[in-house]
Amino acid sequence: MSFEVRESAQSVALCVDLTATQSIANNVITAVSWNVQPLWNRGFTWTGGTTVTFPEPGLYSITWDLSYATGVGTNRLTYLTRSGDTLHRWGQTNITPVAGVTTRVVGACILNMLQGSTASIFVFQNSGGALNIGGATDPLTCEWSIAKIANVV
C-alpha cells in the first residue's frame, strides 16, 4: 500500500465542537455527543451525535480536545474507536488531574479509513461522582477535527 497526496485529499474535512455540557458518570466509558452544527464541513454528512461516517477512503489526520470540570480522582481519559471496534483505542490519552484546575485532554491519530468507516470519541473519569465535559467547563471549546491528508493508491 502506498500513499499519495493529491489536491482532492484536502477537500474532505470536518470540525465539530461541544458547547453544551455533557455529564460523564463515574467509572463509565461514555461516547462524546457532539453539536449538530459543525464549525466547518467539507464533504461529510454530519447531523450531530457520537459517530462520524467517512465519505471516502483515504488517510485522515484526526485530533480532538476535551475539558473536564475540576474534580478529584486519578484518571481523565479519552480515545477514538473505529467502526465499532472496542479492542483498539487510537490516540488514547490519560491525564491525572490537578486539584482545583480544569483538566484538558488531547488525543490525535492518523488512520487509513474506508468509505463508510465510522469513528467515535470516548471518555472516562473516576472522580467519585459525575463530572462535566464541554459547555461552561472551560472557556475553550472542545473540538474534534478530521482532515483527509492523502489518497490511498
CA distance 11 to 43: 7
pLDDT number for residue 70 = 85
In the predicted structure, residue 64 carries a pLDDT above the cut 60: yes
The grid coordinates listed for 153 are: 493508491
Of 4-18, 43-57, 60-74, the one with minimum mean pLDDT is: 4-18
CA atoms within 13 A on the CB side of 23: 4
Stated pTM of the model: 0.89
Highest-scoring range by mean pLDDT, 23-32, 70-79, 82-91, 131-140: 23-32
Higher pLDDT, 27 or 103: 27
CB 132: neighbour CB atoms within 10 A?
19
**What confidence category does residue 9 fall into, taking pLDDT thresholds of 50, 70 and 90?**
very low
Query: Would residue 128 be called left, alpha or beta, if left means φ above 0 and alpha means ψ between -120 and 50 degrees?
Result: left
**What confidence category does residue 30 fall into, taking pLDDT thresholds of 50, 70 and 90?**
very high
CA distance 120 to 4: 26
Q: 153, 44 in Cβ contact below 8 A?
A: no
Per-residue model confidence as pLDDT tens digits over 99-153: 888 888 999 999 999 999 999 999 999 999 999 998 765 655 689 999 999 998 6
Q: 110, 149 in Cβ contact below 8 A?
A: yes
